[in-house]
């Protein structure tokens, strides 16, 4: 597998992307993390080449904002992640060594002792996973929009398109399936035969909470909930679907393997909100969760109507990444 410098040179040589756009992490205090992150996700890109996303390139953009993009340039399938995304998420989660202290969640402090990494590390890993797999889903979709570069639009200036909304929710779903697969692998490795409903539920709450913090941190979350506006669905709608997909994938997969799991998705959502609310107020100095709960309670019917309409558009749409995931999953089982 090629190293980061080799890929960077390939990007400069073969695409319209300028050298100044590519972040050189050689002198960064986070050099080791950037290199490890690149190796993990570039290997994942290569490992998913059966979706027809080759030749592929991955690099960190020289930009301090939290963002990422996927697109095609001169026949290359490209993902870039802003270097500010990695640094921002490290500071938001991984470097908060006191993340659980004083948050009235002592049961998670005890639970953390059973894990091979701190909960703050799990939350950091999950948010970077979500970013990467969402962008990879856009490559897999191979929509006409790829030539214009799809990206996580964090402002409210872009035009509305129902097709854009569908592609974004599909990319969220694909990313959620990938995160669900990682979560399943993690609990099996960590707990083995000692896995219980409570251990699985707590792990899911941690994973879903990190996604919740990430998505609700987008600037568009400051807008009143909207439906047919802007290029991306409102974060409140997105995170509601993401949690459902992650928990649904894990529980269904375990049941298919003959493991009886008694987990109520509504219970996971409620506990996830409680867990996140404590962290949000006491560690991040903002109250993201109360607004989410109030909006969902007030807009439930409109949210359900919107999601139902998008699901009807989604059915049998063979361009979508989630459709291709299901096709591939059936083929791999044969």
Cis peptide before 55 (omega within 30 of 0): yes
Asked if residue 234 has pLDDT above 60, the reply is yes
Average pLDDT, the chain: 91
- Rg, Å, the chain Cα set: 19
Asked whether the beta carbons of 228 and 305 are under 8 A apart, the reply is: no
Residue 156: its pLDDT value, please? 47
Give residue 185's pLDDT: 96
* pTM of the predicted structure, to 2 decimals: 0.94
Nearest to 150 by CA among 132, 164, 166: 164
Output phi, psi for 142, to 5 deg: 50, 40
Crossing angle between the packed helical segments 235-256 and 162-191, to the nearest 10 degrees: 40
CB 196 within 8 A of CB 111: no
Burial 162-199 (b: 16+ CB within 10 A, else e): eebbbbbbbbbbbbbbbbbbbbbebbeeeeeeebeeeb
Identify the CA nearest to 91 among candidates 292, 219, 283, 274.
283
Ranges 38-52, 170-184, 318-332: which has the least confidence: 318-332
Number of H helices, E strands in the chain: 11, 4
Q: Is the pLDDT of residue 74 over 60?
A: yes
As beta bridge partners, residue 57 has 78
Of 127 and 146, more confident = 127
The candidate with the shortest Cα–Cα distance to 295, out of 245, 214, 220, is: 220
Q: What is the pLDDT of residues 242-277, one digit of tens each?
A: 999 999 999 999 988 888 888 888 899 999 999 998
Distances (CA, A) of 55 to 12, 48, 143, 328: 15, 11, 17, 20
């Amino acid at each position: 597998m090629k190293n980061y410098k080799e890929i960077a040179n390939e990007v400069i040589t073969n695409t319209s992307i300028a050298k100044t756009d590519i972040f050189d992490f050689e002198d960064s205090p986070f050099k080791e993390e950037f290199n490890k992150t690149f190796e993990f996700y570039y290997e994942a890109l290569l490992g998913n080449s059966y979706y027809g996303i080759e030749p592929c390139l991955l690099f960190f953009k020289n930009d301090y904002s939290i963002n990422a993009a996927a697109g095609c340039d001169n026949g290359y399938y490209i993902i870039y992640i802003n270097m500010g995304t990695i640094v921002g998420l490290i500071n938001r989660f991984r470097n908060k060594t006191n993340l659980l202290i004083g948050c009235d969640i002592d049961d998670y402090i005890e639970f953390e002792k059973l894990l091979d990494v701190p909960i703050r590390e799990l939350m950091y890993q999950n948010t970077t996973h979500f970013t990467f797999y969402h962008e990879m889903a856009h490559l897999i979709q191979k929509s006409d929009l790829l030539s214009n570069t799809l990206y996580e639009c964090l402002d409210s200036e872009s035009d509305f398109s129902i097709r854009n909304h569908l592609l974004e929710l599909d990319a969220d779903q694909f990313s959620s399936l990938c995160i669900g697969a990682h979560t399943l692998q993690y609990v099996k490795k960590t707990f083995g035969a000692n896995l219980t409903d409570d251990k699985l539920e707590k792990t899911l709450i941690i994973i879903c909470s990190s996604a919740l913090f990430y998505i609700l941190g987008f600037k568009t979350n400051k807008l009143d909930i909207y439906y047919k506006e802007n290029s991306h669905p409102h974060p409140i709608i997105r995170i509601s679907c993401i949690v459902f997909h992650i928990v649904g994938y894990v529980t269904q997969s375990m049941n298919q393997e003959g493991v009886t799991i008694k987990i109520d998705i509504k219970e996971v959502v409620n506990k996830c909100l409680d867990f996140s609310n404590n962290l949000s107020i006491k560690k991040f100095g903002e109250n993201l969760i109360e607004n989410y709960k109030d909006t969902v309670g007030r807009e439930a019917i409109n949210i359900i109507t919107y999601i139902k309409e998008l699901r009807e558009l989604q059915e049998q749409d063979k361009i979508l990444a989630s459709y291709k995931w299901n096709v591939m999953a059936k083929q791999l089982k044969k």
